Chain A
Amino acid sequence: MVVDHETPSLENGQTDKEVEENANVLQFMDSMDAYLTLIHSLSSTLRRGWLELASARHSMGASRVNTVLLDHTSHPAATSLLVTQDEGKVDSGKPHFTLCKWASSSNENSLLGEKQSSQDKLHPQLRHRGSTELYEEKTSSENKASREVDDPVQKERSKSLSMFGTLVSPKLRAAQLSFEAALETLVEIANMRSEMLCAFDQVNMKLEGRKDEK
């Protein structure tokens, strides 16, 4: 009986190499399954979002939900994508995508500025003819229930919807959340695709190594 010392066998008859190969293949199939699941999820999220947008347009009217209202002034992006390389790992060079929602650096400054201007705006927009000072004092003292939007994320959401007006239908807000979820899913898909391609490369390398050995 010839004993092969170079490839010690395990209890289930598999070698380390084979175990590693199986693990790579499983990882590839898992990442592909996750990728396909995410694609399906994205598709249903987008379908929901588009229908909610149509519903908002039906509710608010075509003149209020319209492409001509999109803001063409230069303004900071509310959301940005950070691309990094995964260093210090076996599969270094694999890109990793991170979504920075409502967190661009200029937004922080504008948040402070907006808070100040929103304090000004909380006091009445409607002017009465006559004594404005008296009117403003009266309303500021009576106005105990003024609503500041504490959550900065909610504030950013409202700000980006404000191109359609500040009093928008809940359906438009729901559409915004759906598209936001779709954006997150897209980034997850990008990361999963990167993992999947990496796992595929690993499997491919092992297969080619086997061919060379033979």
Chain B
Amino acid sequence: MYGFEAMTFNIHGGYLEAIVRGHRAGLLTAADYNNLCQCETLDDIKMHLSATEYGPYLQNEPSPLHTTTIVEKCTLKLVDEYKHMLCQATEPLSTFLEYITYGHMIDNVVLIVTGTLHERDVQELLEKCHPLGMFDSIATLAVAQNMRELYRLVLVDTPLAPYFSECITSEDLDDMNIEIMRNTLYKAYLEDFYKFCQKLGGATAEIMSDLLAFEADRRAVNITINSIGTELTRDDRRKLYSNFGLLYPYGHEELAVCEDIDQVRAAMEKYPPYQSIFSRLSYGESQMLDKAFYEEEVKRLCLAFEQQFHYGVFFAYMRLREQEIRNLMWISECVAQNQKSRVHDSVVFIF
């Protein structure tokens, strides 16, 4: 019953909530970002990060560093923390933690399938997969010719199996079908995660509903903008939107017929939480939209820590770390390309 988590949550979840709150304290601050933004080379970035929790992961990396190396090592830290929490978790927290990684699993499946279509070496593809999304039979994805085989040979034994019911066909895999498959899987995953959180109830359901609804709405906007000028029809576009969220269903109806960014703005400005996001952009501009959405997401994720005895803190922590890694990637790219004046275009401060 909602409101009584304080009595029982700590029995099974207290230790891990304390762990995740401790991890949260290790997130980079604005002062850290200011120092990083002033670095001249990637080795300077490595030196500044050596004083943070990323230090042990970067200390043995030889010069010259690459931006991808920094991102990989920082991701390894997140993976280690996640695995520690997962192995300590009991049900239903362990299932909740697994749900957080299904998005990466979908990305890895699509990466392997697309790379195989382009005749790339499977080993090369596996090295580029996100470690949080790995599963045992991932390498056998390369043998599938169509979605039915993909499902039958490999994915039937993975957590993604239930999400394939919407997109199993015998059509050969090609770029368009793979894109539709990616977005359909992700839609099914988000809806499933949402239902799971609703079943958990209490503060977890309340906080996760808000976070997942925002994720679904942001996906709808991104799908709309990315599909403008492509061959994706309005009906197909509408089918890729999730069946929940603030924009469901009337916002989706408007987004499905949008032909340019200004029409998207007009559709979104009817919803007060998104009006504030779009008010920061000038007309016809979409470059800063990503940053505006990330800032709103970070604000909501930080608010999740204001309440105790719920699983939303784990989801929020993982997402905040991913945002931090994105920030580090962007700063590294700007430093490597000698474009430090553009560093604040995409860095989102967490604290």
CA distance A139 to B71 in the complex (A): 44
What number of A-B contacts does a CB cutoff of 8 Å give?
A: 144
B330 on the A face (CB < 8 A): yes
Given contacts A63-B111, A145-B234, A149-B229, contact A47 B286 (CB under 8 A): no
Interface residues of A in 9-65 (CB under 8 A from B): 47, 50-51, 54-55, 57-59, 61-64
Question: Quick check: B180 and A72 within 8 Å, CB to CB?
Answer: no
Residues 61-94 of chain A, each 1 if its beta carbon lies under 8 Å from chain B, else 0: 1111010111111000000000000000000000
Question: Quick check: A125 and B236 within 8 Å, CB to CB?
Answer: yes
State the interface size on chain A (CB cutoff 8 A). Answer: 46
A204 on the B face (CB < 8 A): no
Residue of A147, A149, A165, A169 near B175 (CB, 8 A) is A165
Question: Quick check: A166 and B230 within 8 Å, CB to CB?
Answer: yes
Question: Quick check: A126 and B111 within 8 Å, CB to CB?
Answer: no
Q: Is the interface of A mostly helix, strand, loop or mixed?
A: loop
Question: Quick check: B230 and A158 within 8 Å, CB to CB?
Answer: yes
Q: Name the A residues within 8 Å of B168 (CB-CB).
A: 127
Q: Name the B residues within 8 Å of A154 (CB-CB).
A: 229
Question: Quick check: B118 and A70 within 8 Å, CB to CB?
Answer: yes
State the interface size on chain B (CB cutoff 8 A). Answer: 60
Stretch at the interface among A98-106, A116-124, A190-198, A206-214: A116-124
What residue in chain B is nearest A70 (Cβ atoms)? Answer: B118
Q: Name the A residues within 8 Å of B119 (CB-CB).
A: 71-73
CA distance A63 to B334 in the complex (A): 20
A162 on the B face (CB < 8 A): yes
Q: Name the B residues within 8 Å of A69 (CB-CB).
A: 111, 114-115, 118, 120
Question: Quick check: A47 and B180 within 8 Å, CB to CB?
Answer: no
Q: Name the B residues within 8 Å of A118 (CB-CB).
A: 231
Given contacts A54-B330, A63-B128, contact A127 B231 (CB under 8 A): no
Interface residues of A in 157-172 (CB under 8 A from B): 158, 162-163, 165-171
Q: Name the B residues within 8 Å of A127 (CB-CB).
A: 167-169
A7 on the B face (CB < 8 A): no
Question: Quick check: A163 and B227 within 8 Å, CB to CB?
Answer: no
What residue in chain B is nearest A74 (Cβ atoms)? Answer: B119
B228, chain A: closest CB distance, angstroms: 8
CA distance A142 to B235 in the complex (A): 8
A44, chain B: closest CB distance, angstroms: 11
CA distance A166 to B231 in the complex (A): 9
Question: Quick check: A59 and B290 within 8 Å, CB to CB?
Answer: yes
A110 on the B face (CB < 8 A): no
A136, chain B: closest CB distance, angstroms: 11
B60 on the A face (CB < 8 A): no
Question: Quick check: B330 and A58 within 8 Å, CB to CB?
Answer: yes
Residue of B223, B226, B231, B342 near A121 (CB, 8 A) is B231
Residue of A54, A61, A73, A121 near B337 (CB, 8 A) is A54
Question: Quick check: A124 and B326 within 8 Å, CB to CB?
Answer: no
Q: Name the B residues within 8 Å of A168 (CB-CB).
A: 226
Taking beta carbons and an 8 Å cutoff, which residues of A are in contact with B? 47, 50-51, 54-55, 57-59, 61-64, 66, 68-73, 118, 121-122, 124-127, 129, 139, 142-143, 145-149, 154, 158, 162-163, 165-171
Cβ-closest 6 pairs across A and B: A54-B333, A167-B226, A162-B175, A166-B179, A71-B118, A125-B180
